[in-house]
Chain A
Amino acid sequence: MIDEHQQEQAALHALGALTPAETAAFEREAAANPELARLADDLRETAAALAHTAPPVTPPAHLRAAVLETIGAPIPFGVAPRAPATNAHAAAIWLQSAAVAALLILGGWLWTDRQRLLHENEELRAADTLAQIQLRILTATPDRTTPGDAALLWNAARQEGRIETRRLPVPDKGKSYQLWVIDAAQKDHPINAGVVPIDDRGAGELRFHPARPSAHPAAFAISLEPSADPALAPQGPVLFVAQ
């Protein structure tokens, strides 16, 4: 018979939420208690399934070649692994390919009005160099797991952007979604980019200019704020973020 305390320990163990000492004690106990060991196995499998709830992202193709090269596997002709990514290196690569990737990412973005967004992207591209335009997909923060999708286009040269949302929960009365730009040089002072209007289906659209210029936006975020008191700084919970 397994009591609630043992169930708790098994659940925490499955999630890796025990301290090292607690882990060792639990594993000793489970080794001597087959029923507890079975429960621990079951909960570990259950916990592993949570990995499926992470937003699906396809790993870059070069990683496969890099891994196989590292372990000494023969690499097929024409597949060139890249060096392991360093932050600066990867960031540089990302910056160089961001605009091109934007179009490719957009291809997978299953919005009903994605053609309209593409068209706008094309317009922006025509007006500026390709590298000045970025597409950012905002994702629900893990603490909140707010349903819905949001994506924005950012034109650094013009210091303007446009965000679109769909299927966001309609905010409670007196609350609204507020967009923020987090500049790399002033991360502690998010820049207000306006309130994102949401219709009764959670769809919204906002063309925005941040309240202050942002030379290097490190991220964009949506928080839930009181409507009647436009926030100068985020007060409410952050619901969506894109770096």
Chain B
Amino acid sequence: MAAAADGDHAAFAKLYDRLAGPIFSLVLRMVGDHAEAEDVFQEIFVRLWKSAPNYDGAQSSVFSWVVTIARGKAIDHLRSRGRRRQTFTESVDEFPEAAAASASAIEVTDAALLAQHHEEAGLVRRVLTELPGEQRESIELAFFGGLSHHEISARLQQPLGTVKARIRRGLLRLRDHLPGRGLGIRQAERESGKEAGSRP
């Protein structure tokens, strides 16, 4: 990350290879349209390149920093087109075609990292599915739907306090069941000594 921040294109390409899969999957799930997801995805990585010097490894893992930027871009996109999943038709319109891009492949050479991601993904999914349904629903509406707690309350027709409590309990429980911070990429950063991406 530090090398990418210093303008090293090769380092940034490596960063891309590590992050492209999970970030594209996230964006596609959020915006629900493959072509739009591609546009948003490109904007995200260009933004990462420009913002890399601002990354502070003492505050967050690279992964969580990138996810924050990616979600911000995706939410901006959703708001700009003014579409939200509220009706049957909108739900259908916006839902991602998860396999649409599977025909093509990026060049990822770090098989161990990929395997680790798969393992982590399985763990997170498992822990998430173990949450009570109402907690999981509220968390997913916030994370993937980009909804505020007020919007979730209105959407689920539940009191605001109930929604807040569900999110609090659910996220704390997730934290307690997921080992370590940052999962995977942060761990990989630590092991490879790359966590010194903190900028002076």
Contact = CB atoms under 8 A, between A and B. Distances in A.
Interface of A: 4, 7-8, 11-12, 14-19, 41-64, 66-68, 70-74, 84-87, 89-91, 94, 97, 100-101, 104-105, 108-109, 136-137, 139, 141-143, 145, 182, 187-188, 190, 218-219, 221, 223, 234, 238, 241-243
B174 interface: yes
Interface in B78-136: 85, 88-89, 91-93, 95-107, 117, 120-121, 124-125, 128-129, 136
B14 to A, nearest CB: 11
B121 A52 contact: yes
Contact of A243 (B29, B33, B39, B67): B33
B198 interface: no
B139 A104 contact: no
Given A50-B140, A55-B96, A57-B98, 9 more contacts: A16-B146, A43-B175, A56-B22, A73-B9, A86-B39, A101-B103, A108-B99, A141-B91, A218-B92
B1 interface: no
A73 B125 CA distance: 36
Interface residues of B, number: 94
A48 B42 contact: no
Contacts of B164: 8, 11-12
Given A12-B167, A136-B97, A137-B97, A46 B104 contact: no
A61 B105 contact: yes
Contact of A17 (B60, B148, B178): B148
A219 B93 contact: yes
Contacts of A45: 60-61, 64, 181-183, 186
Interface of B is mostly: helix
A91 B137 contact: no
Contacts of B178: 46, 49
Contacts, number: 286
16 contacts: A8-B164, A14-B171, A43-B172, A45-B186, A53-B125, A55-B96, A57-B101, A58-B101, A58-B102, A61-B105, A64-B106, A64-B107, A67-B46, A73-B9, A94-B100, A187-B92
B23 to A, nearest CB: 7
B34 A90 contact: yes
Contact of B67 (A8, A51, A59): A51
B5 interface: no
A150 to B, nearest CB: 11
A54 B9 contact: no
Contacts of B35: 85-87, 89-91, 94
Contact of B120 (A12, A49, A63, A218): A49
Contact of B38 (A43, A74, A85): A85
A66 B33 CA distance: 19
B23 A60 contact: no
B158 to A, nearest CB: 14
Contacts of B32: 243
B89 A187 contact: yes
Contacts of A4: 168
